[in-house]
Structure 1
């Protein structure tokens, strides 16, 4: 692999794009001072990733950009590209590799390989892998040759690291050390987090243990409350069933009593319905008898003569009309008598009430009722009874008139009876025995008053009968009027009257028979009514008791259902609606508790425990799990990082061992080559290299506190500083105690001998030498050029020089000039292009051609 081309644009004095094409061998760049020759070496060093501005003779990053001149403005960007040919021979992936670096005025820098942007680190790895020694001998700027012998042994070691091939190992060591420190920083961060999290975890564990205890107590309490709820539910369920059964029994009992009462009252209703037919039958009987009489009269008239019949009918109508008027008058008088009797009855009731109240005072109950009053009352009741019987059987107006007169007499008797009672009750009290008698007789008077009311009721019934009789008379009058009209218009044939009379008489007999039957039924009903009333009263009492019992059962059932609902509401609030639903469906059935009191005591104890535990944030368990997981992860991470640290430390030790072994082996070969090259250049003498080992520094990681890892020892890291390289050189005929005793030319030759010794063992793809031969005289310059030609067979050299002997060793020359615009320009000449026969050597001719 060799450097095929270098493109400069905007870099230092190369304002416009300039390309230098190189071939293997030696290429010399010549030109006057200040023309920009060294800018070519700086460009190569810069594109290879140089970060030290001092190494490329700049103070700021934008100083590498063309600064402008009087005729040219400054540029905003600088770019350098380096083309490597035959790159695959050095382990690269392409035959040609173009490395580019670009920078703008802001200082932003970018790197590229074959047009693809890369990082500086990636570029450094690529170049080291290709055999470039970026920090040592790839580019040797001005003054570096002298630095080889004047720098410290530690700084001089860098060139030997590239020469011995340990640079890749050093880079790997650097990466491993950086990774170790990063790992160590991660361990510190993880342990810092652990120190923060572990106290928090301990606090969370205490809270979580309380939460678990609370959850356990809540589980036990819920189980106990569910058991208690199931027991109470079962008790209420049994009670409700019992109460409901009792309610149904009470209802059935009441229904049975009601049914018996209805069965008892049904015959009475039937009999009453039949007895209600009696007035209707009596009216019918009256009407039939009237028809019978009319037919009989009509028949008689028919036999005697039709005109007489009409006259008789007219007379009868007149008589019936008068009878109706008289009956109406009597009825009105009877009605007035009844009204007066009712008024007197009311007055009698008030007097009886006053007599009852008189018992409460010393003067109210001294006298007893006389026997004649009781006798008179009895007689009045008997007369009323007889009058009622006669009213029931009376059919003619004459009888009704008599009955009305008797009713008036009965009314007057009642008035006299009331007066006597008032006088009796108004008598002053005499003795305590009299008060006892009045108290004893008062219930009898009350009973008699009730009887009198019943009799008055009978009179009202009879009044209704009289009204019915009056209606019948009215109907009879209507019949007679129609008959009279019929007789006058179309007298009936005498042959039909007997048959009609017979029919009416049959109807009369049938109605009389039915009336007799109904009266017999009425008598039997009246006889049975007393017994039936007693049974009805008994059944009503039973019904009342049954209703009260049913009401009591309904009240008990309602109260039990209320307690049931309260229990269900309490269960829903405490144990949730789901359990309440299962309890109602019977899915929550359990074995009843053997000791309900003990169960209640257990519930109270568990509730007390919950109160003692207190409220707990329900999220503490999740937080504890999350923090514990983080602590576990950090412990695992620390363990992994500790293991990684251990592995990295072992890897570092192994790398140090490999570096030491390879460096020691290669260093000896360089030492021998240095001695040979030194003797060739100086024509004798002796030179050697030696390693100067500094004292190892033992330290722990500086940012690790002493209390790290809770008492675990911190393993110290032993960092051995690399051994420095010391140069020993004695030119022929001199005994030199140190390099400082050498002349400038001897120092330069010694440095060149050391550089060529390194290149003889580990050749770089190309080497840039910037005026390294400036301090050499003519003879030493020829020795330098001779060695340069020998090494050019393995390494490409780009030499910036003013030395004629060096130019003669070159196969191509580039001349660099600068015009008035401050921009560097190139002139290139290949030695085979120099005309022959000039009498001068090709190098001299080429130099004269380039420099003009």
Structure 2
């Protein structure tokens, strides 16, 4: 016994909650037509997952909910619950009871539950299949389905037999494996297509990465060259720095020395300039003296002119012209004296005065005789005295002029000597100053060079730090200038080659890595999918092999049981089952065509597609096709085949909905007897009107109806 209880609430004609217990091998459900007996079978079919509204005798899901009557309201939902005994572990779950429940609401929504947890319909179907409970048509045999096994097509009949033989779980596994295989094939195709799509781009990226690696190699080479160059350059810079420092120190010493010399020259030049200033002062004094002498001479000439004008002879008309000329010359000399500025001018004036005096003497001599008689002795004496005085004054003037000339000459000599000394020292000072300026520029240049070298040294040291080098390494890398030059050329060439490789985006390596990983992933996935496909194909092949073995073994046993029950029911006769793998390919022996009437079997026998064909020979009749039997005969053949299936598959329970209705009393007794025999291993729930069947039951449920609402009465039979 496996089915323990059925609970119905709001389902079809059952408005209230009702429970049916099934404590024995055969339970009968009886009641008048229209009372709702078949709704019990529909409830079992529905709770086990049937989705066919036709088999449930409804148009839509809401029709399964109690719709109410004039005296009773409708309900909002329908629910059916079945309880299975799982002590023998027919269901592969760790519960002693398996409770399956289905609910439907007025909006058409369905809910499925197993042991209180909401599940999917697929979960329920798969669980029930482990106990050989399915919906292919033989677990619940309803009204009008008494001859379903006979009336079904060979293919449908094969499906029923396969489920009865316990192949359904294996078929589910096979279908699942086939679905997974199909899905795997689709995934494989997609992965392969992606690989085909990615591979060209991956090749391109790989080439770019190789270029990038070459660029990195070039960069490494360039870095190595630069390291060597930096070390050599640092040593060269340090050497130049030392040389520059030495030159700067030398220039500083030389500049200090020359600055000292320049200072000495400056002091000497100042001394000479002081002497020149004294000489100039002396010249100024002489100029003053000359000016004084000039005034004195002018005064003396005036005196001479006055004296001459007082002489008696001066008034003589005939002599006036000569004297006037002498006077004019004296006026000219006076004008020259006003402009005299140097000794040469004084000498010239002195000469002119001497010439004038001579003229005066000559004039006086010529006038001596003429005036002798006219002049008195006093006048002559006076003239002589004037002459003597004039001569004395002239001599005095000559002496003064000579003194001035000597002083001027001396002054000129001193000035000339001072000028030469000053010019010489000035030239020497200028040369020394230029030398000092050149040395200062040289020092500044060396200082600037030293600053630039220090900056280069700092840059080189920074580069060394960048390259992880120590300053001490520079002393170990002494290169000549030619070697440094050649090294620089190598760096330039490496830089040029590196520049040509700069067009590769550094991000290309990341893209290549991602793409390569994706390609490898797809490659691995393809490999895994191929393995999975191989495994699935093996699983499918194994399942097919297992199903084939089970089917072959079970089908042979089914044929024997079918023949046995056929002979019991018909009290003789012959029956057989023939399996056709596919069209015109037959898996077992079948009678020759000539054994059948051509109009009843004939050509149709050659057109049988894959499935199971029934051969039945009723006692006292010629062998005919099942399709040619009467309705009652087909029902008996169906019952014989059904009992054969039950005997072979031993299902947990079976619902028979009035399949005994067409049987006569004699066959009903046979039917009841077979039920008792099979109920030792299979639980039967029989909906019947037949007394013989009722008497075989251990529990009897009566269904009544009142105003469209079904009610249940129970009775346990001893």
Query: Given the two structures, how large is their TM-score scaled by the length of structure 2?
Result: 0.71
Q: How does 1:771-810 map to 2 (within 5 A)?
A: 771-810=658-697
Partner in structure 1 of residue 714 of structure 2: 828
Q: Does the 8 Å contact 1:670/1:758 carry over to 2?
A: yes
For residues 456-479 of structure 1, what are the alpha-carbon distances to aligned partners after superposition, in whole Å with 9 as ceiling and x for unaligned? xxxxxxxxxxxxxxxxxxxxxxxx
Classify the secondary structure of the residue corresponding to 1:592.
coil
Classify the secondary structure of the residue corresponding to 1:595.
helix
Q: How does 1:111-510 map to 2 (within 5 A)?
A: 111-255=112-256, 341=285, 445=412, 448=415
**Mapped partners of 1:203, 1:788: distance in 2:** 78
Classify the secondary structure of the residue corresponding to 1:693.
strand
Q: Does the 8 Å contact 1:27/1:798 carry over to 2?
A: yes
Distance 1:831 1:414, change over 3 A: farther
Classify the secondary structure of the residue corresponding to 1:90.
coil
Q: Does the 8 Å contact 1:344/1:418 carry over to 2?
A: no
**Mapped partners of 1:151, 1:446: distance in 2:** 164
**Mapped partners of 1:641, 1:415: distance in 2:** 141
For residues 348-407 of structure 1, what are the alpha-carbon distances to aligned partners after superposition, in whole Å with 9 as ceiling and x for unaligned? xxxxxxxxxxxxxxxxxxxx997999xxxxxxxxxxxxxxxxxxxxxxxxxxxxxxxxxx
Partner in structure 1 of residue 528 of structure 2: 640
Q: Does the 8 Å contact 2:584/2:609 carry over to 1?
A: no
Distance 1:176 1:781, change over 3 A: same
**Mapped partners of 1:755, 1:568: distance in 2:** 105
Aligned residues: 584
Unpaired runs of at least 5, structure 2: 268-280, 292-341, 348-399, 586-607
Q: How does 1:723-738 map to 2 (within 5 A)?
A: 724-738=611-625
Partner in structure 1 of residue 77 of structure 2: 77
For residues 131-159 of structure 1, what are the alpha-carbon distances to aligned partners after superposition, in whole Å with 9 as ceiling and x for unaligned? 42442422112222222111111110122
Distance 1:564 1:247, change over 3 A: closer
Check if 1:751 corresponds to 2:638. yes
Q: Note the C-alpha offset of 1:760.
A: 1.7
Distance 1:216 1:119, change over 3 A: same
Q: Note the C-alpha offset of 1:663.
A: 0.8
User: Does 210-219 or 137-146 show the bigger shift?
Assistant: 210-219
1:627 pairs with 489, 492, 515, which one? Answer: 515
**Mapped partners of 1:342, 1:196: distance in 2:** 120
Q: How does 1:675-690 map to 2 (within 5 A)?
A: 675-690=563-578
Q: Note the C-alpha offset of 1:222.
A: 3.7
Distance 1:37 1:591, change over 3 A: farther
Q: How does 1:465-614 map to 2 (within 5 A)?
A: 545=435, 548-559=438-449, 561-562=451-452, 565=455, 579=465, 585=471, 590=477, 592=479, 595-614=483-502
**Mapped partners of 1:263, 1:338: distance in 2:** 27
Partner in structure 1 of residue 296 of structure 2: none
Q: Does the 8 Å contact 1:26/1:810 carry over to 2?
A: yes
User: Does 250-259 or 214-223 show the bigger shift?
Assistant: 250-259
**Mapped partners of 2:108, 2:457: distance in 1:** 84
Q: Note the C-alpha offset of 1:722.
A: 11
Query: Given the two structures, how large is their TM-score scaled by the length of structure 1?
Result: 0.61
Classify the secondary structure of the residue corresponding to 1:177.
helix
Classify the secondary structure of the residue corresponding to 1:558.
helix
**Mapped partners of 1:825, 1:414: distance in 2:** 183
Q: Does the 8 Å contact 1:250/1:547 carry over to 2?
A: no
**Mapped partners of 1:69, 1:413: distance in 2:** 177
Classify the secondary structure of the residue corresponding to 1:145.
coil
**Mapped partners of 2:615, 2:693: distance in 1:** 27
Q: Does the 8 Å contact 1:47/1:101 carry over to 2?
A: yes
Q: Note the C-alpha offset of 1:614.
A: 4.6
Classify the secondary structure of the residue corresponding to 1:55.
coil
**Mapped partners of 1:338, 1:140: distance in 2:** 165
**Mapped partners of 1:591, 1:687: distance in 2:** 113
Q: Note the C-alpha offset of 1:728.
A: 1.0
Distance 1:180 1:420, change over 3 A: same
Partner in structure 1 of residue 20 of structure 2: 20
Q: Note the C-alpha offset of 1:85.
A: 2.9
Q: Note the C-alpha offset of 1:582.
A: 6.4
Classify the secondary structure of the residue corresponding to 2:146.
helix
For residues 102-159 of structure 1, what are the alpha-carbon distances to aligned partners after superposition, in whole Å with 9 as ceiling and x for unaligned? 2223443332222122333332332222342442422112222222111111110122
Distance 1:766 1:31, change over 3 A: same
Distance 1:14 1:419, change over 3 A: farther
Q: Note the C-alpha offset of 1:620.
A: 0.3
Q: Does the 8 Å contact 1:227/1:592 carry over to 2?
A: no
Q: Note the C-alpha offset of 1:59.
A: 3.2
Classify the secondary structure of the residue corresponding to 1:828.
strand
Q: Note the C-alpha offset of 1:83.
A: 1.2
Classify the secondary structure of the residue corresponding to 1:58.
coil
Distance 1:56 1:224, change over 3 A: same
**Mapped partners of 2:547, 2:678: distance in 1:** 27
Q: How does 1:35-50 map to 2 (within 5 A)?
A: 35-50=35-50
**Mapped partners of 2:8, 2:502: distance in 1:** 81
**Mapped partners of 2:402, 2:705: distance in 1:** 173
Check if 1:765 corresponds to 2:655. no
Q: Note the C-alpha offset of 1:584.
A: 9.3
**Mapped partners of 1:580, 1:728: distance in 2:** 98
**Mapped partners of 1:206, 1:120: distance in 2:** 55
Q: Does the 8 Å contact 2:286/2:408 carry over to 1?
A: no
Partner in structure 2 of residue 399 of structure 1: none
Distance 1:93 1:696, change over 3 A: farther
Q: Does the 8 Å contact 1:568/1:580 carry over to 2?
A: no
Partner in structure 2 of residue 8 of structure 1: 8
* RMSD, matched Cα: 4.5
**Mapped partners of 1:224, 1:343: distance in 2:** 86
Distance 1:95 1:580, change over 3 A: closer
**Mapped partners of 2:687, 2:582: distance in 1:** 37
